[in-house]
Chain A
Amino acid sequence: MRAIAALWSRELLRFFRDRARVVGALAPPVVFWFLIGSGLGNAFKMPGAAAGVDFLQYFFSGTLVLIVLFTSVFATISIIEDRREGFLQAVLVAPITRLSIVLGKVLGAATVGLIQGSFFLVLTPLSGIDLPLQGFLWAATAMALASLGLTGLGFCIAWKMDSTQGFHAVMNLFLIPMWMLSGALFPHSTAPGWLRFVMSANPVSYAVSALQHSFGMGSVALASLPLCLLVLTGFSVATLGACVWLARDQD
């Protein structure tokens, strides 16, 4: 436990000492949200079920997920740095289980993601979204689960890598499309059938949907709120399990 807490607090300490990272993970999505949201919002009208939802409001959930994705996943890059700079070897020979190492790292990175996401969540009123306390709590739960799952995914990718460039490549090839096909940019209901299938299989979709429910936009969501949270929980457990398996002793 102590070891998990130590590794967790180290992640937070390192994150907040690095101002560029704080700004770098928060600013781009906000700018995206405002520019893309404003631009697209006037070019297209939300069709069907989504009628009556302003695109800036619609895009808000996706932006929040993007912040969590950027922050959590980038935080796991520190595994590659830890390995290269040598810090990791000292952790690996310490008398702690690999589960503690995984949990310390993943919980640390996920907390960082959650904190960043919460900063943006505070801006909700600016977008005109009405956010009651209950909605806020659901949104926070969804973000926490999404952070955990995405961090776990990032950990799995980063564990075997020895260059941060490689990580960025995977990020662009794999994680960004996952975000694009999550209902962040366009609703599930208007997509062609094959795309709808891909979106349903994408765990990130359920993070976006859960947030849409929290923001009172349940009509555009992919699934019900309980199902979303269930899928996110399953996703987190699965990626954490994969992390522990990958990082098992003496590989």
Chain B
Amino acid sequence: MAGLTKQEGLSSPVSVSGLSYAYPAARGGNSRLALNHLSFDVSAGEMFGVLGPNGGGKSTLFKILATLLRPGSGRVRLFGQDTQAARGTRKRMGVVFQNPSLDLRLTCEENLLYQGRLYGLSGRDLARRVDDALGLYRLEDRRRDWAGSLSGGLRRRLELAKGLIHDPDLLLLDEPTVGLDPGARKELWDHLGRIRGSRKITILLTTHLMDEAERCDRLMLLHEGRLTAEGTPEVLKGEIGGDVITLETEQPDTLLAGVRERFQAEAARLGEHVRIERKQGHSFIPQLVEAFPGLIRSVHLSKPTLEDVFIHHTGRGFWNEGAQQESRGT
């Protein structure tokens, strides 16, 4: 893919190097570092996910990529151009925000028309695009309804249609399915799949949902403003040695110390649980249960998920339930 883009004389859609961003100090407080030396590239045609818990820096990164915030330090290039000189690249970019950007007092059709005009479209070309979009997103029968009268799922769809009306090369999606019910969520993903099938488009999305991250070609984990891991979902999960065993216990510290001492296993405490990464987990469980009689309330064995990847890299639970951080055993 990289060779192809060079041949075409195109640079990668998103290229970030050494990006840091600090929010200015509030009165009396310290400035808050939201992004810390972030570097990554997204290649053309890829679906790239930025996975992280809320407050991890996703929104800040999104705003910088959307050219709403200036990068603090470091370099952010979109299609080879610095975001400071953003007007040219904005045309090639579609942005769908987490907060809706529809004008609820305009009709669906008008929302698309106005968006198109902001992107320099007009006349028959624009009318055709609006028709196509209303058809593709199955909003045809709501054409003349107020955007405010649409359900949450339909609004998201219209939002997506709006972001794509000018046929961008890069689509930025901020938490695309937040607030949607499972049906609407699935439908939105079906639409994204269809878009990717019908044209060459690069998609960058932020999410805190594991199942959404699973669907990306490549992922980066963003935690406290740092890139903690990067790779395809399979590679990331493969980094974990084998299976994940989770032990529920009333004395996590005792159990953790015991596991480390007796088995030299990679183990960590997460709240009331002790979490062990181990090859051949199923054969390890009987040894564990025999070794600590009465200490283990329940045992859970699973293949590694992206959540495990996150815990593996940060030593804490994704949802922050295990606030007590434990140093990792060997």
User: Chain A residues in contact with chain B, CB under 8 A?
Assistant: 2-3, 5-7, 10, 13-14, 17-18, 85-87, 89-97, 249-250
Contact = CB atoms under 8 A, between A and B. Distances in A.
A64 to B, nearest CB: 28
5 contacts: A2-B122, A14-B105, A86-B101, A89-B99, A250-B69
Contacts of A87: 101-103
A11 B66 CA distance: 25
Contacts of B101: 86-87, 89-90
A90 B95 CA distance: 7
Given A10-B103, A89-B68, 10 more contacts: A5-B117, A13-B110, A85-B100, A86-B99, A87-B101, A89-B101, A90-B95, A90-B118, A250-B67, A250-B69
B102 A86 contact: yes
Given A5-B117, A250-B68, A250-B70, A93 B104 contact: no
A10 B99 contact: no
Point out which of A18, A89, A93, A250 has the most chain B C-beta atoms below 10 A from its C-beta. Answer: A93
Contacts of A250: 67-70, 84
> Which are the 6 A-B pairs with shortest beta-carbon distances?
A6-B117, A90-B101, A95-B90, A94-B118, A95-B91, A86-B99
Contacts, number: 70
Contacts of B86: 249
A14 B114 CA distance: 13
Contact of A6 (B68, B91, B104, B118): B118
A97 B102 contact: no
A2 to B, nearest CB: 5
Interface in B62-103: 66-70, 84, 86-88, 90-91, 93, 95, 97, 99-103
Contact of A2 (B70, B88, B117): B117
Point out which of A18, A95, A96, A250 has the most chain B C-beta atoms below 10 A from its C-beta. Answer: A95
Given A86-B97, A250-B69, A91 B104 contact: no
A93 B117 contact: no
B316 interface: no
A81 to B, nearest CB: 9
B120 interface: yes
B312 interface: no
Nearest to B97: A89
B285 interface: no
B162 A90 contact: yes
A89 B67 CA distance: 11
A18 B105 CA distance: 9
Given A86-B99, A86-B100, A90-B101, A3 B68 contact: no
A97 B68 contact: no
B106 interface: yes
A17 B68 contact: no
A10 B106 contact: yes
Interface string B232-268: 0000000000000000000000000000000000000
A83 to B, nearest CB: 10
B268 to A, nearest CB: 40
B119 interface: yes
A75 to B, nearest CB: 14
A86 B103 CA distance: 8
B115 interface: yes
B295 to A, nearest CB: 52
Contacts of A3: 117-118, 120
Contacts of A14: 103, 105-106
A93 B93 contact: yes
